[in-house]
């Protein structure tokens, strides 16, 4: 697996540890959830204490300067809380449709194996002027992470960056992130 370029010794060290854990522990599942998809399951990475710590620390270095961390439903929640604790800021759950009481902001999108809608509350919290760092576990086509970033930006947030643990390069998601700096701890 290739690691992204490290821009500080601190990030380099976190990336190396996270890269080792992700390479060793990711479970690759053929034909899930649909035929032809090779699904990257990071469950064993998160269930490993040092592995989980390394990805949280790597993401937190990338998110320095944020005053709110947004985690994308569902596995992004596992990361968002840890990174927010590390940065000393709050956390926001970007939910799949139908989970939040109205009023909500919504954004629909396509992903590698379907389509979905993400939602956040309108004005609770008020996102105007908030410096938000958006996190998910995997970047495939990029549809999910881009929808989350656009949703937050539309609600008035300044999206200072987006990040994932694992980027699947052949699906080309990175090319969609010209407006938001993208960090991936590991690229395959």
Ligand X SMILES: Nc1ncnc2[nH]cnc12
Annotated catalytic residues are: 75, 112
Residues 6 or more apart from 179 whose CB is under 8 A from it?
149
DSSP code string of 50-92: HHHHHHHHHHHHHTTT-SEEEEETTHHHHHHHHHHHHHT-EEE
Could you say which of ligand PRP, ligand X, none residue 75 binds, taking C-beta under 5 to 8 angstroms by partner kind?
ligand PRP
Query: Closest distance between ligand X and the C-beta of residue 92, in Å?
Result: 21
**112 contributes a contact to ligand X by CB under 6 A:** yes
x/- map, 26-65, ligand PRP, by CB under 6 A:
----------------------------------------
> Distance (Å, rounded) from C-alpha 13 to C-alpha 6?
9
Kindly report the backbone phi and psi dihedral angles of residue 26, in degrees, each rounded to the nearest multiple of 5, phi listed first: -60, 135
**135 contributes a contact to ligand PRP by CB under 6 A:** no
Q: At what angle do helices 49-62 and 75-87 cross, to 10 degrees?
A: 70
> Distance (Å, rounded) from C-alpha 87 to C-alpha 35?
39
> Distance (Å, rounded) from C-alpha 168 to C-alpha 166?
7
Query: Closest distance between ligand X and the C-beta of residue 77, in Å?
Result: 15
> Distance (Å, rounded) from C-alpha 162 to C-alpha 29?
26
Segment 81 to 110, residues that bind ligand PRP, using CB under 6 A: none
Query: Closest distance between ligand X and the C-beta of residue 131, in Å?
Result: 27
**72 contributes a contact to ligand X by CB under 6 A:** no
Segment 159 to 188, residues that bind ligand PRP, using CB under 6 A: 173
Judged by the rule CB under 6 A, the positions of this chain that interact with ligand X are 37-40, 111-112, 138, 140, 168
Binding residues for ligand PRP (CB under 6 A): 72-75, 111-112, 116, 136-144, 173
């Amino acid at each position: 697996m290739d690691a992204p370029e490290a821009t500080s010794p601190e990030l380099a060290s976190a990336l190396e540890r996270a890269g080792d854990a992700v390479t060793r522990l990711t479970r690759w599942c053929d034909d899930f959830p649909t035929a032809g998809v090779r699904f990257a399951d990071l469950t064993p990475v998160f269930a490993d204490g040092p592995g989980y710590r390394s990805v949280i620390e790597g993401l937190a270095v990338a998110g320095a300067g944020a005053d709110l961390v947004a985690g994308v439903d569902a596995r992004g929640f596992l990361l968002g809380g840890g990174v927010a604790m590390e940065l000393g800021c709050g956390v926001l759950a970007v939910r799949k449709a139908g989970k939040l009481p109205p009023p909500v902001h919504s954004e629909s999108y396509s992903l590698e194996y379907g389509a979905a809608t993400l939602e956040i509350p309108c004005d609770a919290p008020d996102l105007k002027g908030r410096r938000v760092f958006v996190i998910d576990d995997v970047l495939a086509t990029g549809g999910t992470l881009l929808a989350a970033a656009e949703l937050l930006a539309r609600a008035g947030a300044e999206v200072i960056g987006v990040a994932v643990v694992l980027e699947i390069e052949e699906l080309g998601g990175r090319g969609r992130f010209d407006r938001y700096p993208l960090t991936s701890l590991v690229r395959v």
